[in-house]
Amino acid sequence: MVKKKVEVLVAGGGTAGVIAGLAAARGGANTLIIEKQRCLGGQFTVGMQGAWVGFSDKEKVIVKGIAWELRNRLHEKNAMVEDDPETDVCFLYDPEIAKVVLDEMVAAEPNLSVFLDTSIVDVIMEGDKVVGLIALSGSELTEIRAQVVVDCSGDAVVAAKSGASYEIRPKKDIQPMTLMGKMAGVDIERVKEYYKENPPVVDHMVPPAWREFKTFPGFMHYGLHDELKDVELPEDLEYLRSWLAIFTSTPNAGEFTINCSGAIEAHSIEGFGERTKQEIFSQKCLYDVATVLKRYVPGFENAYLTSIAGLLGIRESRRIEGDYKVTLDDFLEAKDFEDSIGRGAMPAGVHTPDGITMNVYNLEPGKSMTIPYRCMLPRGKDGIIVAGRCVSYEAPVANCIRCMPQCMAMGEAAGVAAALAVKSGVEPRDVDISKLQAKLRANGAII
Ligand SMILES: Cc1cc2nc3c(=O)[nH]c(=O)nc-3n(C[C@H](O)[C@H](O)[C@H](O)COP(=O)(O)OP(=O)(O)OC[C@H]3O[C@@H](n4cnc5c(N)ncnc54)[C@H](O)[C@@H]3O)c2cc1C
């Protein structure tokens, strides 16, 4: 087996992972990112999200650091739209351009390398300490040892394989998965005009905090309840009437992203036969949504489906049991943790498993919850930090903490902490918090 050694090893180069890699490398650690997709970015790019929500608490920006640098780089390439960044919680970006921008940022770091098309298949342990990973590329296995492993796999793959405890909800409770898609050829002005004249009324189930999003010059709309209320749908399209569907414009003229509940019958990490069926159904679902929009929504008459994401969107899978678990009360109190490494202000809550609606809890404008470093440390395990949607929190906190700006803020903190741990020869949980916070602040992060 090929053997390799680095100081910091990042498992998963997705939303949190690529930022963790950049932060660790900039912190002076020899860093390697391993990513199983053919490009960096995870849900941020391959998942085709396109709507970055959670940069602002509706009064001011609450996430900066490397995520903000990325936002600025996307602006330079005309691949971003936002209204007022201080108050606009939704920034629309182009995931394809984002792939290239991430490559540019990585290429600029001499301490950082990346293995793409490479899967982590196992962990190497010494007692309770993670000391490396086994990765598979093609048919070649590589043993990579590291002083700190940062688990940014979204599914807590490394933590779970290390024997760390985690929570995962059963299929009846877990949030639905969604495959994202895109349409082009939309007459956005006509769409906006239509909704100005026919303000959505059946949209009452959409929580006010979500309805109030200002995304102009973009556009965001929920569900097709109003549009379809007097329409007799063919039987095979009837299921779309009640599902939550979020339509968002993009920085590109005439283009829309479709985020419609799709894979509601499968579980994110169990029953892969069922999941395969749902992958296939999700593609059909996008085709069906496009058909309905074209037939029944003014402005979509000449629109067509242009792309289907290469990665199924997983909202929820494993969440580690961390040194601290963020609770719904912490969110509701807008808690200020002493070991804060970032902030979130999006409504907490979850999408319901039936794909029909969301249950959410709001914070007042201007308020935000801090994210404690301890929720990124798997209880009882050393040599590992976790960042992204699989950190430690109660399920109803999800919508606040799993948004992309928050995942990126956690990624940055994990990378900085990993580099500090390497430099000072300590375990991640023994990193001096005041040094970590000072370094994050010096890098422009808001904590
Ligand atoms: C349908 C949907 C809609 C959403 N809408 C929004 C939105 O509008 N705005 C917003 O801000 N957020 C949104 N989110 C949330 C957000 O996109 C995710 O929570 C966030 O991107 C997760 O980041 P992550 O880094 O934890 O995981 P990911 O971005 O998924 O990254 C994990 C990476 O790890 C890699 N990986 C996994 N296992 C392995 C392995 N064994 N070996 C190697 N690599 C591996 C994956 O390929 C992936 O690249 C949405 C999520 C979904 C699913």
Residue 265 amino acid letter: E
Residue 211 amino acid letter: R
Residue 225 is predicted with a pLDDT of 74
Give the span between the Cα atoms of 153 and 159, in whole angstroms: 10
Nearest to 222 by CA among 197, 239, 238, 199: 199
Q: Tell me, in angstroms, the distance from the centre of ligand 1 to residue 216's CA.
A: 25
Task: Give the rounded distance of the alpha carbon of 159 from its chain centre.
Answer: 19
Give the span between the Cα atoms of 413 and 436, in whole angstroms: 8
The DSSP element (H or E) to which 308 belongs, if any, is: strand 304-308
User: Which protein residue has the closest C-alpha to ligand 1 atom 35?
Assistant: 12
Give the span between the Cα atoms of 99 and 45, in whole angstroms: 6
Residue 215 is predicted with a pLDDT of 53
Residue 378 is predicted with a pLDDT of 98
Residues in the chain: 447
Task: Give the rounded distance of the alpha carbon of 365 from its chain centre.
Answer: 22
The answer to whether 183 and 305 are in contact (CB under 8 A) is yes
The DSSP element (H or E) to which 21 belongs, if any, is: helix 15-26
Residue 124 is predicted with a pLDDT of 98
Q: 417 to each of 30, 111, 410, 428, 440, how far by Cα in Å?
A: 14, 16, 10, 7, 9
Nearest to 157 by CA among 113, 118, 105: 118
Q: Tell me, in angstroms, the distance from the centre of ligand 1 to residue 127's CA.
A: 30
Q: Tell me, in angstroms, the distance from the centre of ligand 1 to residue 43's CA.
A: 4
Give the span between the Cα atoms of 96 and 369, in whole angstroms: 31
Ligand 1: residues with CB < 6 A are 12-17, 34-37, 42-44, 49, 51-54, 119-120, 152-155, 157, 178, 259, 313-315, 388-389, 402-404, 407
Q: Tell me, in angstroms, the distance from the centre of ligand 1 to residue 325's CA.
A: 20
pLDDT in tens, the chain (447 residues): 899 999 999 999 999 999 999 999 999 999 999 999 999 999 999 999 999 999 999 899 999 999 999 999 999 999 998 878 888 878 899 999 999 999 999 999 999 999 999 999 999 999 999 999 999 999 999 999 999 999 999 999 999 999 999 999 998 999 999 999 999 999 988 887 887 777 665 455 555 555 555 554 455 566 677 778 888 989 988 888 877 777 888 899 999 899 887 777 788 888 788 888 888 989 999 999 999 989 988 899 999 999 999 999 999 999 999 999 999 999 999 999 999 999 999 999 988 888 777 788 989 999 999 999 999 999 999 999 999 999 999 999 999 999 999 999 999 999 999 999 999 999 999 999 999 999 999 999 999
Among 404, 406, 408, 410, residue to substitute to test ligand 1 (most atoms within 8 Å of Cβ): 404
Nearest to 263 by CA among 332, 147, 354: 354
Residue 192 is predicted with a pLDDT of 78
Per-residue pLDDT reduced to its tens digit, 170-187 = 989 999 999 999 999 999
Residue 126 is predicted with a pLDDT of 98
Ligand 1 atom nearest 46 alpha carbon? 49
Ligand 1 atom nearest 135 alpha carbon? 42
Give the span between the Cα atoms of 335 and 326, in whole angstroms: 10
Q: What angle do CA 182, 186, 190 make, to 5 degrees?
A: 140
Q: What are the start-end ranges of the H helices in 310-403? A: 328-332, 398-401
Q: Tell me, in angstroms, the distance from the centre of ligand 1 to residue 201's CA.
A: 32
Domains located in the chain, CATH noted: 2-171+316-333+369-442 (3.50.50.60), 181-308 (no CATH)
Among 88, 153, 177, 219, residue to substitute to test ligand 1 (most atoms within 8 Å of Cβ): 153
Residue 228 is predicted with a pLDDT of 83
The answer to whether 102 and 17 are in contact (CB under 8 A) is no
Residue 291 amino acid letter: T
Is pTM beyond 0.85? Reply is: yes
Ligand 1 atom nearest 406 alpha carbon? 11
Give the span between the Cα atoms of 44 and 41, in whole angstroms: 5
Nearest to 239 by CA among 205, 275, 270, 282: 282
